[in-house]
């Protein structure tokens, strides 16, 4: 691999240079080969506006169905065989780890395409909507171990990890290692999972993101992930460590509350809310990922829609107009002075 993400105090380096992370959440980009392939040409457009990081989830997100694991935590070679990627034909497999696993094939393709563009990938591993497809906590530990082994064998470095997305969510209640063994939001399960993962790939930055308006710090975490716009200086004061603070998901303020407005259209009030939120995170040296419904949900209209969208499509357009997130990319470009 060409590029290496690392942590330097409260910030990031890509190779040896400061990396000013601006992210977007694309949770379902591994859903099938068509979805993954449709994202790749958009990456150059994202970079043009200054968006240089994206997140993708092995177990997908809301409306998705991706899952690379068998019930025991091994990588499956059987799920949706008709959709298997040809990405690794003639390239050789990682011995003993995965045989024609289409989700991991797609992830490898995205990581390598991102690396070629100096883009960083945030990899989410476990998601509450599909965690019960793994039999028990032991299977989850084995799955975490297999992901770490796969990453070590591939030697991918332009990445960081969200090992459990929405830790403490009620969807994890039957899998205490992702929920908190003593009580909701206890950190013991998260520490165990991070310890297993970091024992294999200590060089890859990793953390866990809590559910909702909660701040958690795990002993093994290299950074703090939040799902709400806590000021980063306050976060660092509470955890007692000088670490990067990344808001890698925030609410659903990007969807109009007007039922007549299709998903993905934004009101001027919602755009302004996002601007203020990003400014809150950035002024204390934190980092923000845009939680995009339009770009991650698998909807009746054939989503996700990774294209940026036509300039000016909204919020000026009336209900039924063309959804777009051009405003967000323009906002990033202005804030970055590009």
pLDDT tens for each residue of 72-112:
999 876 544 333 344 434 444 433 333 457 899 899 999 99
pLDDT at 154: 93
Tell me how far apart the alpha carbons of residues 186 and 195 are, in angstroms, rounded to a whole number.
16
pLDDT at 260: 55
Class of domain 5-336: alpha beta
Residue with tokens 């070679």: 77
User: Would you kindly state where each structural domain of the chain is located, as residue ranges?
Assistant: 5-336
By the 8 A CB rule, do 117 and 165 touch? no
Q: What is the pLDDT of residues 203-250, one digit of tens each?
A: 999 999 998 888 888 988 999 999 888 999 999 999 999 999 999 987
Q: What are phi and psi of 209, to 5 degrees?
A: -105, 130
Q: String of b and e for 262-284 (b: at least 16 CB within 10 Å)?
A: bebbbbeebbebbeebbebbbee
Cα-Cα end-to-end distance for the chain: 27
Residue 133 has pLDDT above 60, yes or no: yes
- Give percent of the chain with pLDDT exceeding 70: 80
What sections of the chain are H helices per DSSP?
A: 33-39, 42-49, 102-116, 137-154, 188-200, 232-239, 268-283, 326-336
What global pTM score does this model have?
A: 0.89
Tell me how far apart the alpha carbons of residues 76 and 65 are, in angstroms, rounded to a whole number.
14
pLDDT averaged over every residue in the chain: 84
Tell me how far apart the alpha carbons of residues 76 and 59 are, in angstroms, rounded to a whole number.
13
């Amino acid at each position: 691999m060409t590029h290496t993400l690392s942590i330097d105090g409260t910030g990031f380096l890509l190779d040896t240079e400061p990396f000013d992370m601006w992210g977007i959440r694309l949770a379902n980009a591994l859903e099938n080969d068509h979805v993954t392939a449709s994202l790749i040409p958009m990456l150059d457009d994202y970079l043009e506006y200054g968006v240089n990081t994206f997140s993708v989830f092995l177990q997908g997100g809301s409306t998705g169905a991706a899952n690379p694991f068998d019930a025991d935590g091994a990588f499956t070679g059987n799920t949706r065989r008709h959709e298997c990627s040809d990405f690794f034909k003639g390239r050789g497999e990682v011995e003993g780890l995965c045989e024609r696993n289409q989700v991991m094939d797609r992830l490898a393709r995205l990581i390598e395409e991102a690396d070629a563009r100096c883009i960083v990938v945030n990899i989410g591993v476990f998601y509450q909507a599909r965690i019960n497809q793994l039999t028990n906590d032991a299977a989850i530990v084995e799955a975490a171990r297999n992901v770490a082994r796969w990453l070590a064998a591939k030697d991918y470095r332009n990445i960081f990890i969200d090992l459990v997305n929405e830790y403490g969510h009620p969807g994890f209640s039957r899998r205490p290692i992702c929920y908190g063994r003593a009580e909701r939001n206890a950190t013991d399960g998260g520490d165990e999972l991070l310890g297993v993962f970091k024992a294999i790939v200590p060089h890859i930055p990793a953390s866990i993101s809590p559910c909702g308006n909660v701040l958690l710090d795990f002993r093994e975490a290299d950074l703090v992930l939040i799902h709400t716009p806590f000021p980063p200086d306050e976060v660092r004061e509470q955890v007692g460590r000088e670490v990067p603070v990344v808001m890698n998901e925030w609410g659903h303020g990007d969807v109009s509350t007007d039922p007549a407005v299709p998903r993905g259209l934004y009101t001027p009030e919602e755009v302004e809310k996002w601007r203020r939120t990003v400014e809150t995170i950035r002024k204390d040296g934190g980092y923000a990922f845009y939680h995009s419904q339009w770009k991650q949900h698998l909807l009746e209209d054939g989503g996700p829609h990774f294209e940026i969208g036509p300039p000016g499509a909204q919020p000026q357009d009336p209900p039924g107009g063309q959804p777009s997130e051009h405003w967000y990319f323009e906002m990033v470009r202005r804030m970055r002075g590009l």
